[in-house]
């Protein structure tokens, strides 16, 4: 998953670790760690696999003359194979729902 600025979690965690060079103000800001609560929604255990697959495919969009059309399902299927997803149909439907929600948000902008 990614932080507010779309950095991978490990980069964000590193950025929020206190260093000897930090000012007092900077140390105070970092003392609670990264703001994951504002970055990552709560993910129910039954959705973790689909969210992981979506996160790996979230840059694989099919574009047409009018803009983004859909997520590349071929890529989704390949990533599911790489990660050994057993319930491919259920995972595919969940990824499709996430992609459609993203498309809806983009169209509202």
- pLDDT mean by block of 10 residues, the chain; 109 residues: 52 81 88 72 85 91 92 96 96 95 89
**pLDDT score for 39:** 67
Angstrom distance (rounded) from CA 73 to CA 96: 8
Find how far residue 59's CA is from the centre of its chain: 10
Residues 93, 106, 104, CA angle at the centre, nearest 5°?
A: 45
Angstrom distance (rounded) from CA 5 to CA 68: 21
Q: What six digits make up the tokens of 86?
A: 């057993």
**pLDDT score for 2:** 45
Q: At what angle do helices 88-108 and 48-57 cross, to 10 degrees?
A: 60
């Amino acid at each position: 998953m990614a932080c507010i600025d779309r950095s991978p979690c490990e980069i964000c965690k590193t950025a929020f670790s206190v260093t000897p060079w930090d000012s007092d103000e900077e140390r105070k800001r970092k003392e609670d760690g990264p703001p994951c609560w504002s970055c990552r929604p709560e993910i129910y255990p039954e959705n973790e696999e689909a969210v992981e697959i979506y996160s790996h495919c979230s840059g694989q969009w099919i574009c047409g003359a009018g803009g983004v059309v859909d997520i590349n399902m071929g890529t989704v299927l390949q990533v599911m194979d790489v990660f050994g997803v057993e319930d491919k149909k259920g995972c595919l439907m969940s990824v499709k729902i996430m992609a459609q929600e993203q498309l809806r948000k983009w169209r509202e902008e």
